[in-house]
């Protein structure tokens, strides 16, 4: 096979097509860019730059798998091209092969340590749960290109994860000065949740939220930011109005089917109400699963456990759902339908698969897997990893739903949270199924009440540690001092000591009546 020629040998016609394609891509004219790239590929299939351009276009179209195949073929013939390695690394990162992406992007940086290469390496490290390396790469990218917007956001995210809240706030404030980034930057700043803003800054957010020339996405961001700003300024009526506008504007993609979710929960409960086969009794004893609704104290619970010298906090791991999803694909049958047919050997195989995927977090006696959405799978956890502990976080339902309703989650994630009735039904489904798990396996499932933790922190922390098979350690009382990375919406809050405060529902009074009514309707539905 002939090696691809370097870019210096590109014929004038091909160079012109590549320039046109890159210009059109910059203008977001994907159709025009695609046409130019196709022509360049047809004229010079042996060159490196035409497939590189095409891969960039395919990624923008959301066709990451096609881009990945094209880049892998090209890199085999031209493996010392930093641009190709960077693009391949970014594509691998998008498709979930994070460790491979990091390795390729490290090669790209070694060949050419420019801002784009450092930035892509930082993104891959962030996705691969390497927060310190991600922050280092973001700093390098920002140093080399101070106006690299992506690097600035990555830097702010890394600083927040490491607890450098003031530095993160400074980055966001700088970004608010860029008109195209103002909405996203204001949201990032207010989403830190512990940073005070000035009256002048509040006025700027108000003006931005009123600007109907913004895109829909930016209007959503600015409305959420304004809601948080009003809440911090103790203007509850205006905060409720802003959050309501934000949630109504949110596109809710993919659409949420609350009835389908309830049917799934009922099917899970019915399936695991009967005795099923399971793996050996001590398999998974090193794992502590932390589940529940977002904003119900799961990050706080993990932070407390992470302060213990025998615990490694892994944060939100995707592995449990990956293992179950792949088993469903292998069987050609959805979960939980195949569970009654699974043998003890099957469950052991699945449990060992999970443990293999999470091996990097097993350097201590215990590790936490704080994926809140794992709550429907407690029955599968008991079958796969019967030695594991499961902590179900619980907070007042109105408080939880209101806190979720105020939160803008990652695109495509937790879309139930943008409608009060859907959110309240999800909360009721969780509580109903969690009660079933607690009754079924009281020795393996513990309810961690957020309110109880605030009221009696030492007693609750001692009980939590005992449930997890850990001796008491006073560091857990000073969990806010623990030096660890956390990237959830509570990242700044869990770095403060526990304080007993007036519940938000009391501060808002009748303004939260729609939330309380939605919760009551959902609770009546589940009995």
CA distance 190 to 177: 15
Q: Give yes or no: residues 273 and 193 share one domain.
A: no
Domain range for 314: 258-526
For the stretch 149-158, pLDDT in tens is 999 999 999 9
Q: What is the CATH number of the domain that holds 406?
A: 3.40.50.300
Q: Do 308 and 424 belong together in one domain?
A: yes
CA–CA dist 291, 372 (Å, integer): 4
Mean pLDDT of the chain: 92
In this structure, what token pair is assigned to residue 219? Answer: 């209007």
How high is the pLDDT of residue 23? 95
Same domain, 230 and 350: no
Residues 301 and 203 in one domain: no
With a CB cutoff of 8 Å and minimum separation 6, the contacts of 183 are: 208, 214, 217, 218, 219, 221, 222, 225
Q: pLDDT-derived band of residue 129, with 50, 70 and 90 as boundaries? A: confident
**DSSP string for residues in 347-392:** HHHHHHHHHHHTGGG-SSSEEEE--GGGGGGHHHHHHH-TT-EEEE
Structure tokens at 243: 């959050």
Q: Which of 184, 217, 251 is the last residue of a domain?
A: 251
Same domain, 493 and 368: yes
- Per residue in 307-331, pLDDT (tens digit) is 999 999 999 999 999 999 999 999 9
pLDDT at residue 495, rounded to an integer: 47
> Reduced to 3 states, what is the DSSP secondary structure of residue 40?
helix
In a domain, 327, yes or no: yes
For 245-273, the pLDDT digits (tens) are 999 999 989 999 999 999 999 999 999 99
Tell me, yes or no, whether 211 lies in a domain: yes
* Rounded Cα gap, residues 230 and 219, in angstroms: 16
Spatial separation of the C-alpha atoms in residues 395 and 398, rounded to whole Å = 8
267: closest CA among 372, 326, 347, 337?
A: 337
500 Cβ neighbours under 8 A, 6+ residues apart: 454, 455
Spatial contact of 109 and 118, defined as CB atoms under 8 Å apart:
yes
Same domain for 492 and 400, yes or no, is: yes
Instruction: State the pLDDT at residue 496.
Output: 56
Judged against a pLDDT cut of 70, whether residue 500 lies above it is answered with: no
Task: Compute the distance between CA of residue 434 and CA of residue 373 in angstroms, rounded to an integer.
Answer: 12
Find the helix or strand (DSSP H, E) in which 455 lies. helix 450-455
Same domain, 245 and 173: yes
Show which of 217, 233, 251 is a domain's final residue.
251
For 345-399, write each residue's pLDDT tens digit.
999 999 999 999 999 999 999 999 999 999 999 999 999 999 999 999 999 999 9
Enumerate the β-bridge partners of residue 449.
394
Closest CA to 187 of 494, 405, 407: 407
What percentage of the chain exceeds 90 in pLDDT? 84
CATH code of the domain covering residue 169: 1.25.40
Q: How many domains does the chain have?
A: 2
Give 174-190 pLDDT, tens digit per residue.
999 999 999 999 999 99
Distance CA 468, CA 88 (A): 42
pLDDT tens string 269-300: 999 999 999 998 899 999 999 999 999 999 99
Contact 387, 282 (CB under 8 A): yes
**Is residue 124 scored above 50 in pLDDT?**
yes
Per-residue pLDDT at 238 exceeds 80: yes
pTM of the model: 0.86
368 with 306: CB under 8 angstroms? yes
* SS3 label, residue 292: strand
Residue 291: DSSP 8-state: E
Chain segment 431-475, per-residue pLDDT in tens: 999 999 999 999 999 999 999 999 999 999 999 999 999 999 999
Q: How confident is the model at residue 95 (pLDDT cuts 50, 70, 90)?
A: confident
CB-based burial, 267-297: b 16+ in 10 Å, e otherwise: bbbebbeeebebbeeebbebbbbbbbbbbbb
The answer to whether residues 394 and 495 belong to one domain is yes
């Amino acid at each position: 096979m002939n090696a691809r020629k370097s870019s210096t040998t590109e014929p004038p016609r091909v160079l012109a097509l590549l320039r046109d394609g890159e210009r059109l891509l910059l203008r977001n004219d994907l159709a025009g860019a695609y046409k130019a790239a196709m022509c360049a590929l047809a004229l010079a299939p042996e060159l490196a730059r035409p497939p590189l351009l095409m891969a960039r276009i395919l990624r923008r179209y959301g066709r990451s798998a096609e881009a990945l195949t094209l880049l892998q073929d090209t890199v085999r013939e031209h493996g010392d091209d930093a641009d190709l390695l960077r693009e391949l690394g970014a594509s691998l990162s998008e498709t979930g092969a994070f460790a491979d992406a990091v390795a390729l992007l490290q090669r790209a940086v070694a060949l050419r340590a420019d801002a784009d290469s450092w930035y892509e390496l930082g993104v891959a490290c962030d996705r691969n749960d390497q927060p310190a390396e991600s922050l280092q790469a973001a700093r390098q990218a920002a140093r080399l290109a101070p106006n690299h917007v992506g690097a600035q956001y990555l830097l702010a995210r890394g600083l927040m994860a490491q607890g450098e809240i003031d530095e993160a706030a400074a980055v966001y404030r700088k970004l608010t000065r860029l008109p195209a980034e103002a909405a996203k930057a204001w949201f990032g700043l207010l989403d830190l949740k512990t940073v005070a803003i000035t009256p002048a800054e509040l006025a700027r957010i108000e003006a931005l939220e009123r600007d109907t020339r913004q895109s829909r996405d930016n209007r959503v961001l600015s409305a959420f930011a304004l809601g948080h700003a009003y809440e911090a300024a103790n203007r509850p009526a205006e905060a409720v109005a802003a959050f309501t506008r934000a949630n109504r504007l949110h596109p809710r993609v993919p659409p949420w089917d609350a009835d389908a979710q309830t049917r799934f929960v009922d099917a899970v409960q019915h399936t695991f109400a009967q005795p099923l086969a399971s793996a050996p009794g001590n398999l998974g004893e090193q794992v502590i699963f932390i589940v529940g609704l977002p904003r119900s104290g799961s990050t706080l619970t993990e932070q407390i456990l992470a302060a213990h010298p025998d615990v490694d906090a892994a944060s939100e791991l995707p592995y449990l759902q990956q293992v179950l999803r792949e088993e469903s694909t292998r069987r050609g049958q959805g979960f939980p339908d195949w569970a009654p047919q699974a043998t003890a050997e099957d469950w052991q195989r699945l449990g060992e698969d999970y443990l293999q995927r999470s091996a990097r977090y097993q350097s201590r006696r215990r590790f936490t897997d704080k994926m809140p959405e794992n709550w429907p799978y407690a029955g599968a956890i008991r079958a796969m990893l019967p030695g594991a502990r499961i902590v179900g976080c619980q907070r007042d339902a109105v408080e939880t739903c209101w806190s979720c309703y105020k939160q803008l989650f990652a695109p495509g994630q937790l879309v139930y949270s943008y409608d009060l009735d859907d959110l309240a039904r999800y909360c009721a489904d969780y509580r109903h199924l969690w009660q079933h798990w607690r009754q079924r396996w009281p020795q393996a499932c513990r309810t961690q009440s957020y309110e109880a933790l605030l009221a009696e922190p030492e007693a609750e922390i001692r009980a939590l540690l005992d449930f997890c098979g850990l001796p008491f350690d006073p560091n857990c009382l000073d969990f806010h001092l623990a030096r660890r990375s956390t990237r959830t919406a509570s990242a700044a809050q869990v770095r403060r000591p526990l304080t007993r405060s007036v519940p938000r529902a009391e501060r808002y009074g009748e303004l939260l009546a729609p939330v309380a009514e939605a919760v009551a309707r959902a609770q009546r539905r589940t009995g």
